[in-house]
Amino acid sequence: MTKAAIYTRTGDEGTTGLVGGTRLRKSDSRIHLYGEVDELNSHLGVGISQLSETFDKTFLHEIQSALFDLGSNLACEKEKRTNFKLPQLKEEMILRIEQEIDKMDSQLPRLNSFILPGGTMASSSFHVCRTVCRRVERQLVDFEDLHSGEVPDCAIRFMNRLSDYFFVFSRFLNFINKTEEIQWIPSKK
């Protein structure tokens, strides 16, 4: 079996192919959208790499796979998705995220003010994941407004819940590492 070439040269003129073969300009909003999902997944990988070797990363890897599922669906027109048997986001994943949030949040001190992103390197990385996740969510909403029905089922809810998860996970990492959260103190006039 011959190894496939990494470069195809098919995008040299500023276009790229969707899963179904349709070619679009690389500036198309669909391409931006699944590129943002890929960026989030990469930031998540950075965060995961900063966790201790003993930390169970299984659920985080499942989130990464779910992000790949979402990206593959965004890279294919809705009417062609079943032809390629693309994996779909499932309601169960949203429920699992909620369960993980509840489990971590039950151990955290109550928040009485906004906190500044930061703390440990890992916590800070997951704050970046949270903000990139929110950007993806906004772009999903915008894309759905422009292309009704093209955003996969559960995708907007998944991203909304996932950003909540990253926020709580960031706090949890600081908590288990005994790193104090810094409260936001509004600037004086």
How far is the CA of 158 from the CAs of 27, 55, 70, 92, 95, in angstroms? 25, 24, 10, 10, 9
pLDDT band (50, 70, 90) for residue 95: very high
Residue (of 19, 29, 23, 46) closest to 128 by Cα position: 46
Q: Which residues pair with 24 in a beta bridge?
A: 16
Instruction: Report pLDDT for 14.
Output: 77
Per-residue model confidence as pLDDT tens digits over 124-155: 999 999 999 999 999 999 999 999 999 998 99
Summary mean pLDDT of the chain = 91
Per-residue model confidence as pLDDT tens digits over 114-124: 999 999 999 99
